[in-house]
Amino acid sequence: MHADGRSGSAPAPDLAASPQDDMVLNVALAAAMANDAHPAEQKGSKAFTGDAMDVALWEFAANAGVTPDSIHQRFRLIAKLPFTSERKRMTAFVEDGIWQKQVVFSKGAPEYLLDLCTQEQWQGEAIPLTPHRRAQILREVEQLSDQGEKVIALATKILSDGIDQEHTEDRSRLTAEERELTFLALIGMIDPPRLEVRAAIVAAHRAGIRTIVVSGDHPHTALAIARRIGMTQNQLVISGSELRKLTDPELSLRLRDCSVFARIDPEDKLRVARVLQQSGHILAMTGDGVNDAPALKTADVGIAMGSGTDIAKETADMVLTDDNLNTILQAVRQGRVLTANVAKAVTFLFTTNLSEVITLFIVAIASATHALHSVDELVLPLTTPQILWINLITDAAPAIALALAPASQNVMEGREAESSRKMLTASSLGQLAVATLLMVAVTLALYVHAVDAGATVGYQRSVTLTALIFSQAFYAIAVQTGRESLLTYFRTLSWLHGAILVSVGLHIAMLLIPAARGGLGLAPLDRQGWIECSLAPVIVLLGSQLQKFFVDRNWRNPDSPPVPLAATEDALWGAR
C-alpha cells in the first residue's frame, strides 16, 4: 500500500473509528466495498472467489483486519456503479450504521480517478489535492508500473445529501456523486508471469508466431511485463488514447514495430484485431472476460481461458483448460504436422499421377504421328488394368504412410515452420516439377530402349510399369524429407520404408507369378531389365537432392524471421 507518501503493509485498523479519522480503515474499506469478489462457499485454499484483482483486494482488506462479517454488521449497500472499460472505475455507495452517514468508496485507474479527486487524506486529515501533488502521485504510479505492478487508486467521500431509495437506480445521480472525492492511497499488485511463459514466447517467435499484448493495464505495467517475458525489446507502447487518433493505415504501420497496447477498450481491441486481419495476418486471440467476446468472435481462432467467463467460453472457438501458453503452441504444432502431412500426400499423389499422364500422352502423340507415316502399329506403353495396378500399389501404402507421418524435427522452426502453414510452397512445386520430369524421362528412355531392342509388347510394358512403380515408391522418401537431406532422415523412416517395401514387394511378386503376370499382359524381366528398372528411382532421388541443393539453397537455413501472427489477457497471435 502507498499512502501518506509512504509505502508498506497496513496495520490493523480500528473498526469503530470514524471514516474521516482512520486512513488505514478507509483504505481497507474502500478495497473491500468497491469490490465484486465474495467469500468462497466452500472452505479451501482460497477464502474469496471472483476476479483475481478483486480477490487480492479483499485479501488485503482481510489482512488489515476487515472481514466480511464486520462489513455486513456495520454497512448497508445502497447502490453500486460497476467497473467498465469506459469508466475505468467502480464505486460503492454504503450507509454506515455506526456513524449514520452515507459514504462513497471508489477504486479505479489512478489517472482517471485522480481527475475526480479534489482532496487527499494526509496524516488523518483531508487536505486539498494540489496540481503538484497530483503530478507527484502520477509519477509514483509510473515508478510502480515500471516494476510490473498493476496499480489502482482508492478514494472516498462522505455524502452531505443522502441518496434516497428512489434514486438508487438513477445512474446520473450516482455518477454526479463521484465528484469531489478524497484520494486515499495507491495499491500496487503484481502477478508474476509463469516460469514457462518466457520459454513459450521464444518458441513462438522461432515458429514464426508474433505475440502482441493488448491490455487494459497502465502502459508502463504492460511494457514492463512484456519486456520481462521477452515479448519485446524496445520501448514502444501505444495507449488507447493514442490508438484512437490513428487511422487504420497508420495503425497498420505502427503494428509492424509495436507489440504492446495498454489502457485499451474493447472497441480498441476489436479494431486492432480487424486491422491485423486486413493486413493479411491469421489472427488468434486469447481472452477471459466479457469484454473480450467481440474480439474472440472476430479472430480467426478465438481461445478462451478455462478460468474465464462463460460468455468468453461460449464465444471462443476453443477453451484452454489449463491457461497455459504452451498448450496453444502444442495445438499449433499438431496443426502444422497435419497440414504438412496432407501437403506431402497431395504432392506425392499429384506428382506420381502426373508422370503417368504425361508419359502416356507423349507416347500417344508419337503413336498418332507414327501412324500417319507407317503401317506398323505403335502400341501404348501401358494398358488400363496396368495403370490401375500402379495406382493400387503406389497410391495406397506410401501415400497413407506420408499422411500419418510423425512431425519433422524442425516443424516449429525457421522456414520449415513457414512452409508447414501452406499446402503447396514454391519449393514443393519446384520439387514436384523436377520429380515429374525425371520420372517421365527415365520411363520413356527405358520404353524406347525396349522398343529399339525389338522386345515383345509384354516386355516393353513390364519395363515401363516397373520403372514407374519403383520411381514412384521411392520418391515418397524425397517428399517426406522436404528440404532436408536424405541422409538426415534415412535412419528414422522405418515406417515409410515398410510402406515402400510393401509396394515394391507386391509388384515383384506379381511379376514372378506367371498367372498374375499373364493376367496383366506382362512378360518376365531379364537381368538387364531388373538392373535398368532399379536405376530409375536412384536417378529420381538424385535429381531431387540436386534440386534441393542448387535451386532451394536456403533449405539449410532455419533462422528466417518470424511471420507476424497476432494473439492475447489479452494476447493476439497471428501468421500469414
Average pLDDT, stretch 352-361? Answer: 90
- Whether 568 maps to a domain, the answer reads no
The helix or strand, by DSSP H or E, that contains position 356, with its residue range, turns out to be helix 325-373
Enumerate the β-bridge partners of residue 128.
119
Of these ranges, 199-203, 212-216, 418-422, 467-471, the one predicted with the greatest mean pLDDT is 467-471
pLDDT score for 164: 80
Return the closest-CA partner of residue 175 out of 91, 105, 107: 91
3-state secondary structure 69-99: HHHHHHEEEEEEECCCCCCCEEEEEEEECCC
- Whether 329 maps to a domain, the answer reads no
Q: Are residues 344 and 251 both part of a single domain? A: no
Q: Are residues 51 and 98 both part of a single domain? A: yes
- For the chain, what is the mean pLDDT? 82
Q: Are residues 93 and 202 both part of a single domain? A: no
Domain tally, the chain: 3
Q: CATH code at 377?
A: 1.20.1110.10
pLDDT band at 128 (very low <50, low <70, confident <90, very high): very high
318 backbone dihedrals φ, ψ, rounded to 5°: -150, 155
Q: How far apart are CA 60 and CA 57, in angstroms?
A: 5
- Whether 246 maps to a domain, the answer reads yes
Is the pLDDT assigned to residue 432 strictly greater than 80? yes
| Residue range 225-237, pLDDT digits in tens | 888 888 877 788 9
- Whether 576 maps to a domain, the answer reads no
- Whether 575 maps to a domain, the answer reads no
Strand-pair category, 260-262 with 238-239: parallel
Q: How far apart are CA 189 and CA 187, in angstroms?
A: 7
Q: How far apart are CA 482 and CA 479, in angstroms?
A: 5
Chain mean position to CA 258: 18
- Whether 263 maps to a domain, the answer reads yes
Work out the end-to-end distance of the chain between its first and last CA atoms, rounded to an integer number of angstroms. 45
Q: Are residues 18 and 78 both part of a single domain? A: yes
Is the pLDDT assigned to residue 212 strictly greater than 80? yes
pLDDT score for 183: 95
Q: Of 273, 301, 323, which residue is a domain's last?
A: 323
Q: Are residues 152 and 34 both part of a single domain? A: yes
pLDDT score for 274: 93
Is the pLDDT assigned to residue 559 strictly greater than 50? no
pLDDT band at 524 (very low <50, low <70, confident <90, very high): very high
Q: How far apart are CA 272 and CA 260, in angstroms?
A: 11
Of the candidate ranges 5-19, 177-191, 203-217, 508-522, the one whose mean pLDDT is the lowest: 5-19
Q: Of 174, 189, 204, which residue is a domain's last?
A: 189
pLDDT score for 4: 57
* Secondary structure letter of residue 40 according to DSSP: -
Q: Are residues 32 and 172 both part of a single domain? A: yes
Chain mean position to CA 421: 13
Q: Are residues 130 and 278 both part of a single domain? A: no
Q: Are residues 166 and 306 both part of a single domain? A: no
Q: Are residues 344 and 281 both part of a single domain? A: no
Q: CATH code at 203?
A: 3.40.50.1000
Residue with grid cell 513390364, as numbered in its chain: 462
Q: Are residues 153 and 19 both part of a single domain? A: yes
- Whether 458 maps to a domain, the answer reads yes
Return the closest-CA partner of residue 106 out of 64, 67, 152, 149: 152
Q: Of 271, 296, 323, which residue is a domain's last?
A: 323
Of these ranges, 260-264, 336-340, 545-549, the one predicted with the greatest mean pLDDT is 260-264
Q: Are 422 and 527 in contact (CB under 8 A)?
A: no
- Whether 261 maps to a domain, the answer reads yes
Is the pLDDT assigned to residue 547 strictly greater than 70? yes
Q: CATH code at 61?
A: 3.40.1110.10
Of the candidate ranges 19-33, 139-153, 418-432, the one whose mean pLDDT is the lowest: 418-432
Is the pLDDT assigned to residue 10 strictly greater than 90? no
Q: Are residues 354 and 500 both part of a single domain? A: yes
* Structural domain boundaries enclosing 86: 2-189
Q: Are residues 72 and 52 both part of a single domain? A: yes
Q: How far apart are CA 485 and CA 290, in angstroms?
A: 50
